[in-house]
Chain A
Amino acid sequence: MLHSLRSNMNQDREDKVPEAFIYDHVRTPRGRGKPDGALHEVSTLGLATTVLRAIKERGDLDTHLVDDIVLGCVDPVGEAGGDIARAAALTADYGNHVPGVQINRFCASGLDAINFAAAQIMAGQHSLTVGGGVESMSRVGIGASGGAWPVDPAIAIKSYFMPQGVSADLIATKYGFSRDDVDQYAVSSQQRAAKAWSEDRFKNSIVPVRDINGITLLDRDEHMRPSTDMQSLAALKPSFTMMGEQGGFDAVAVDAHPEVEKVLHIHHAGNSSGIVDGAAAVLIGSAEAGRAMARKPRGKIRAFANIGSEPAMMLTGPVDVTKKVLARAGMTLDDIDLFEVNEAFASVVLRFAQAFDLDMTRLNVNGGAIAMGHPLGATGAMLLGTALDELERLGKATALITLCIGAGMGTATIIERV
């Protein structure tokens, strides 16, 4: 009797945990991350402002309801430094009262920003938040923020540091993916992205980036090469051979996974994520906040999780964190309708599919970062939106979004339409 009472009380307490609902999602198109890319002339602040302003204007948002803005950014230095989220809150005219915080968990920052923003809601301390991310890779440059991990012997040696491409090649070698396998995957990413664009599947999310006069700079992902085929990829040379051999990183890989005789270098620009510029934002709030805005939620954050994984392979965290988040949510793989696994490198996705014996028809159905690019701090938020749009389009319920992360981590979020 007493026991059942207590479990009822626990049930009550659990029921009282506020739910974090997703009210909106926007993203910029992704510009090629080079000086000739369409977004190169747009500052990091400009990109962040674009998506925050879109969130505000699309729903005629009363920004007095907004408690915080959390933005992911992986190289928060120079123009991207010094808390870009607060700067963007002001330039997007949210008002002086809206604070902002910038976070960094490398490639998953955009998804982590959403999880942090959702956690504020779930904790009952905030009612309405924005999560998202921004990265101008063409302007700030990958690795610009430095960090101890690759250079300080105290951590570099202990964590078997190697460049991510070498880790991606190690994953392929260890789990038996050939050059053909990864190229085949890359071709399919291009084809899926091309099809998604041709069917306008991203239309609910894309916010064109305009200049100060309102002239459109970019309204479509710029990195894609829809004509990619096996022949064109075969012409590309592996990118990480010299680094691996001369930089000593192949030897590091073998020390970490000694069953590997030799790291086979198979990744190149065509089967790795593209370097691009972009930003994304997601509006998250409690049920009451929805009522206050008089808006219906599009979905909710069902569960999220973070994990540290084996740092040498570095990029297998999605496998570990997926197990963790499914367990947290009390779900199985079969309960998930769609998976978005960031295409940092083809082998990352292939390993994910292999580990879970997953059908490709549920995985990255609209292509991914190989075709459209990976604006580091923003990608997680873009993937969540892509999944949500696709669930709505297909009339399905659940999606799991996950990204691999530098230094061996994984972040995953399960969303559910409501």
Chain B
Amino acid sequence: MNFVNFHVETDSDGIALLTWDMPGRSMNVITPEVIGEIEAVVDHVAAEASIKGCVITSGKDNFSGGADLSMLQSVAAEYQKARQEKGEEEATKLFFERARRLSQVYRMLETCGKPFAIAINGTCVGGAFELALACHYRVISDDDKARVGLPEIKVGLFPGAGGTQRIARLMQTGDALQMLFKGEQIRPKAAKAMNLVHEIAPAGEIVAKAKTWITAGGKGVAPWDEKSFKLPSGKVFSAQGMMVWPAANAIYRRETHDNYPAAKAILHSVYEGLQLPFDLALRVESRWFAKILRSPEAAAMIRTLFLSMGELNKGARRPAHVPATAIKQVGILGAGFMGAGIAYVTASAGMDVVLIDQDQAAADKGKEICNKLISGQVLKGRATGADKEALLARIKPTADYTGLAGAGLVIEAVFEDRAVKAAVTQKAREVLQPGTIFASNTSTLPITSLAQTYGEPENFIGIHFFSPVEKMLLVEVILGEKTGDRALATALDYVRAIKKTPIVVHDSRGFYANRCVGNYIREGHIMLLAGVPPAMIENVAKMAGMPVGPLALNDEVALDLALKIIEAAKRDLGPAAIDPTQENLLKTMVVEHGRYGRKNSKGFYDYPAQGTKTLWPGLDAFQSTKLDPDKIDIAELKQRFLVTQAVEAARVIEEGVVTDPREADVGSIIGFGFAPFSGGTLSYIDGMGVANFVALCEQLRQKFGDRFAPPKILIDMAKADETFYGRFAERMKRVA
């Protein structure tokens, strides 16, 4: 048989070996053609009497990353078209049938009567792992990169090709739900323990082992198709079921605040499916899949967290004409918490680091922070002792600036003070080769002005990390007025090397992320002063989709820093630029009460040495009036939290600080955790429709003040019935 994406060979042993090896791609993905070819293989294996069974493997380094998500997006787009042409129900029926085709082909494979075994090498996730689950026997290679998993939930989908049903029949219901909710990639040993694979073998032997299973008489019948099959957790309506389901529903709400329909669909599919015969269970799973595939949350999350993030990671914004830079050594000025974090991620990526501070002891302290970080990884089994040694060997702490001479990039991460920054920049300048790219990790000071201290403003750029550096995925690359393409390319190459996601931002006070975050925190302050119960402020923010409440976040940032930023803005831009009530609140907290935030264990919260933080009872004094919690409009509080950030993102676009909607969206989710189900700040606006968003802004402005005033760009877009992704489509293509 001749296929485009597969080779089939049948040996004298009567076993067909199906090798998945898509031409022109580094990774196998599931496309409509692939689905058709698997179906043809199944027909062939079933029909050919001389074939005993089939082993599936991959011709690539990895097995497969699963479905082509852009395919799923186009299916959803076709649905919209069919709806207009054929009407709602007919279009939905067609869509349902199409969305469940993969599930049906897998079921054909599972029930064709011949045994199918799969030999898994490297990564096998998503729809590809669902293929594996439909096979009767699974062998995985013991290599370091081998992983299985169902990560669909991370882009607002769920495993809709039998995954929920087979997983829930392979393990206890609670374990199954947890696996489906988390979407983690699982190593071979754990996979074996979880009953996900049958056998682990050396990479070179997986095909042979799979064949052995068939020749030894392996049956082409799934456990759940055996008459004697019993559900691992028993029936849903049983004492055991009562132990699982109420808590599963509660934990779903705890983890999602009911914002993620795909996670809820997992619950529905498993709950309903476990009460049905297998084929009917698959059909019910397909019904949920068809619904989730058409959900705005899935569309938004696929676009931002898969497509856009992939494009940015691949250097969508990199000036193509600058040759690739390979940085071997990075100089870092300042070995404090930020500097050490940067040193850690840089050394982790295999680059040498010269970590400089004003004296050796201070520099050594920075390296000690790196030591703690990597030791933590070793303790968790995520790194080996050898990794640790190699990493620490790459970091050279010193007070001697001459050590910088060989650096391909220097990142300054000293105290946020112009004079201090100017001094270290000057010192570095003296030893650096002309043309060395110099980056500042400032979070508040304009890059254009700092660039003047370097002498080569075209080689000066901002690389703004978020704290804690080792965890936060976002990096803002800040362009000063004179920053040149080579500086930008170098910065982007560096960010790519440390496996973070860059967004390119033009110089502006607060850049992008901190402007939105600042608004978010301010909204919390304003609610507090207006008499909203403090716990409600925090809880509703999380219910709106934010990872941390505004008051807790302010504590993390530090209250005195927030106050300094407000005072600086007041000094530089005039009193109209700030909210005096907010300034007063922070001043009282910091100056009068000595509450600086988490760092001195006293902020909006009290931080006991043991146990969890609790809101400071003294906040009472800031509430001259107290609103009745039962009369507060919770939906409106949620909107205020999201709108104040989204409207700021629109202003940032209007000012040209961020120029590409993908960057605004991706940056908002990975930078400050903006309601991921929305797809990000601008997708939030596009999602509800710009005209609706403008109306909402106006409504909030009338009730709560001008900070909600929609900028002109939104009013124009509402009039023209535009979206951000429509309006900037050309620009995104140009740079993509």
Please give the residue numbers on chain A whose beta carbons come within 8 Å of chain B beta carbons, in ascending order.
Answer: 143, 146, 150-154, 156-157, 160-163, 246-249, 251-252, 254-255, 257-262
Q: Tell me the complex Cα distance, A153–B274, Å.
A: 13
- Given known pairs A157-B252, A157-B253, A157-B264, the reply for A248 and B536 (CB within 8 Å) is no
Contacting residues, chain B, for A260 (C-beta < 8 A):
535, 539
> Which chain A positions have C-beta within 8 A of B268?
153-154
Q: Determine if B540 is an interface residue (Cβ-Cβ < 8 Å).
A: yes
A255 engages B535 (CB within 8 Å): no
CB < 8 Å neighbour of A150 from B246, B251, B614, B629: B246
Give the complex CA separation of A258 and B236 in angstroms: 31
Q: Is the CB of B249 within 8 A of A259?
A: no
Cα distance A258–B629 in the bound complex, in angstroms: 8
Beyond known contacts A157-B264, A258-B543, A261-B538: 14 more, CB 8 A cutoff: A151-B249, A152-B271, A153-B267, A156-B249, A161-B249, A161-B250, A162-B250, A248-B253, A249-B250, A251-B253, A258-B629, A259-B533, A261-B535, A261-B615
* Residue B634 lies at the interface, judged by CB distance under 8 Å to chain A: yes
State how many angstroms separate the Cβ of B262 from the closest Cβ of chain A. Answer: 13
User: Is the beta-carbon distance between B543 and A251 smaller than 8 angstroms?
Assistant: no
Contact assessment for B236 and A151 in the assembled complex, using a CB-CB cutoff below 8 Å: yes
Evaluate contact between A255 and B539: CB separation under 8 angstroms. yes
Contact A156 B539 (CB under 8 A): no
Which residue in chain B gives the minimum CB-CB distance to A251?
A: B254
Closest 3 CB pairs of A and B: A248-B250, A251-B254, A258-B539
Alpha-carbon distance A154/B271, docked complex (angstroms): 10
Classify chain B's interface size: 20 to 34
Binding site of A, secondary structure by majority: helix, strand, loop or mixed?
loop
Q: Nearest Cβ in chain B — how far from A398, in angstroms?
A: 30
Interface-central residue, A254, A259, A260, A262, by most chain B CB under 10 Å? A259
Say yes or no for B729: interface residue by CB 8 A criterion: no
B242 at the binding interface (Cβ < 8 Å)? yes
B257, CB-defined interface residue at 8 Å: yes
Interface centre among A151, A153, A262 (most CB of B within 10 A): A153
Chain A CB within 8 A of B337 CB: no
Expressed in whole angstroms, the minimum distance between the Cβ of A222 and any Cβ of chain B is 27
Q: Given contacts A146-B237, A152-B271, A260-B535, are A255 and B249 in contact (CB under 8 A)? A: no
In this assembly, does B556 line the interface, its C-beta being within 8 Å of a C-beta of chain A?
no
Q: Tell me whether A258 and B540 are in contact in the complex, defined as CB-CB below 8 angstroms, given that A150-B245, A153-B271 are known contacts.
A: yes
Partner of B629, one of A157, A255, A257: A257
**Are B536 and A259 touching (Cβ within 8 A)?**
yes
At the interface, yes or no: B258 with Cβ under 8 Å from chain A?
A: yes
Q: Are A259 and B246 in contact (CB under 8 A)?
A: no
By beta carbon, the residue of chain A nearest B271 is A153
What CA separation (Å) do A162 and B534 show in the bound complex?
24
- Is B247 an interface residue, CB under 8 A from the partner? yes
B319 at the A interface (CB under 8 A): no
**Which residues of chain B (518-574) have a CB below 8 Å from chain A?**
533-536, 538-540, 543
Q: Which residues of B contact A261 (CB under 8 A)?
A: 534-535, 538-539, 614-615
Residues from chain B with Cβ under 8 Å of A246 in the complex: 247
Q: Does B241 contact A (CB under 8 A)?
A: yes
Residues of B within 8 A of A156 (CB): 245-246, 249-250
- What is the CA–CA distance of A152 and B245 in the complex, to the nearest angstrom? 8
Q: Which residue of B lies closest to A150 (CB)?
A: B246
Contacts of A248 in B (CB 8 A): 247, 250-254
Residues of the A chain whose Cβ atoms lie less than 8 Å from the Cβ of B535: 254, 258-261
Instruction: Please indicate the chain B residues that have their CB under 8 angstroms from the CB of A247 in the complex.
Output: 246-247, 250-251
- Binary interface profile of B, 267-300, with partner A (CB < 8 Å = 1, else 0)? 1100100000000000000000000000000000
Contact of B614 among A152, A252, A262 (CB under 8 A): A262
Task: Give the shortest distance, in Å, between B543 (CB) and chain A (any CB).
Answer: 6
Residues in B with CB closer than 8 Å to A251 are: 250-251, 253-254
Contacting pair B543 A255 (CB below 8 A):
yes
Q: Which one of B246, B247, B538, B615 has the greatest number of beta carbons of chain A within 10 Å?
A: B246
Residues of A within 8 A of B247 (CB): 246-249
Q: Is the interface of B mostly helix, strand, loop or mixed?
A: helix
Q: Inside 8 A of A257's CB, which chain B residues have their CB?
A: 629
B residues near A262, Cβ cutoff 8 Å? 614
**Least Cβ–Cβ distance between A253 and chain B, in angstroms:** 9
Q: What is the CA–CA distance of A189 and B558 in the complex, to the nearest angstrom?
A: 51
Q: Is the CB of A252 within 8 A of B253?
A: yes
A residues near B258, Cβ cutoff 8 Å: 157, 255
Q: How far is the CB of A366 from chain B (nearest CB, A)?
A: 33
- Determine the distance from Cα of A255 to Cα of B252 in the docked complex, in whole angstroms: 12
Task: For B257, give the chain A residue with the smallest CB separation.
Answer: A255
B229-265: CB near A (< 8 Å → 1, else 0) gives 0000000110001100111111111100110000010
Most chain A beta carbons < 10 A, residue from B236, B249, B251, B253: B249
Chain A residues with CB under 8 A of B540 = 258
Q: CB-CB < 8 A to A154: which residues of B?
A: 268
- Smallest CB gap from B237: residue in A: A146
Docked Cα-Cα span, A262 to B614, in Å, equals 9
Task: Please report the C-alpha to C-alpha distance between residue A154 and residue B284 in the assembled complex, in whole angstroms.
Answer: 14
Closest residue of chain B to A157 (Cβ to Cβ) is B249
A-B contact pairs, 8 of them (CB 8 A): A143-B242, A151-B249, A153-B252, A161-B249, A163-B246, A258-B540, A258-B543, A259-B535
A residues within 8 A CB of B236? 151
In whole angstroms, what is the CA distance A156 to B535 when docked?
A: 24
Nearest Cβ in chain B — how far from A49, in angstroms? Answer: 29
Min Cβ gap A108→B in Å is 22
Which residues on B sit within 8 Å (CB–CB) of A153? Answer: 248-249, 252, 264, 267-268, 271
Q: Whose C-beta in chain A lies nearest to the C-beta of B246?
A: A150
Specify which chain B residues have a CB less than 8 angstroms from the CB of A160 in the assembled complex.
253
Smallest CB–CB gap between A209 and chain B, Å? Answer: 29
Residues of chain A lying within 8 A (CB to CB) of residue B241? 151
Output the nearest chain B residue to A254 by Cβ-Cβ distance.
B539
**What separation, in Å, do the CA atoms of A162 and B250 have in the docked complex?**
8
* Cβ contacts under 8 Å, A143 to chain B: 242
Residue B245 contacts which of A151, A162, A259 (CB distance < 8 angstroms)? A151
Q: A157-B264, A258-B536, A259-B535 are in contact. Are A151 and B254 (CB under 8 A)?
A: no
A252 to B252, CA, bound (A): 9
Which of chain B's residues has its CB closest to A261's CB?
B535
Give, as a whole number of angstroms, the nearest-CB distance from B460 to chain A: 46
- Alpha-carbon distance A257/B634, docked complex (angstroms): 10
Residues in A whose Cβ lies below 8 Å from that of B245 = 150-152, 156
Interface positions, chain B 199-246, Cβ under 8 Å from A, are 236-237, 241-242, 245-246
A residues within 8 A CB of B264?
153, 157
- Cα A261 to Cα B534 in complex, Å, equals 8
B251 CB contacts on chain A under 8 angstroms: 247-248, 251
Q: What is the minimal beta-carbon distance from A351 to any residue of chain B, in angstroms?
A: 13
CA separation between A251 and B543, bound complex, in Å? 11
Hey, which chain A residues are within 8 Å of B253, CB to CB? 157, 160, 248, 251-252, 255
- B173 CB, min distance to chain A CBs, angstroms: 11
Q: Which residues of A contact B539 (CB under 8 A)?
A: 254-255, 258-261
Residues of chain A contacted by B252 (CB below 8 angstroms): 153, 157, 248
- The residue of chain A having its C-beta at the shortest distance from the C-beta of B251 within the complex is A248
The answer, among A146, A151, A258, for a CB contact under 8 Å with B634, is A258
| List of B residues within 8 angstroms of A259 by Cβ | 533, 535-536, 539, 629, 632
| CB neighbours of B267 from chain A (8 A) | 153, 157
Which residue of chain A lies nearest to B534 when distances are taken between CB atoms in the complex?
A261
Kindly report which residue of chain B lies nearest to residue A147, judged by CB atoms.
B237
A146 to B240, CA, bound (A): 12
Which chain A residue lies CB-closest to B254? A251
CA distance in complex: A281, B604 (Å): 57
Are B271 and A252 in contact, CB atoms less than 8 angstroms apart? no
Nearest Cβ on chain B to A309's Cβ, whole angstroms: 13
B275 to nearest A CB, angstroms? 10
Measured between beta carbons, the chain B residues less than 8 angstroms from A163 are: 246
A261 CA / B552 CA spacing, docked (Å) = 13
Complex CA gap A150/B245 in Å reads 7
Q: Which residues of A contact B237 (CB under 8 A)?
A: 146, 151
Hey, which chain B residues are within 8 Å of A255, CB to CB?
Answer: 253-254, 257-258, 539, 543
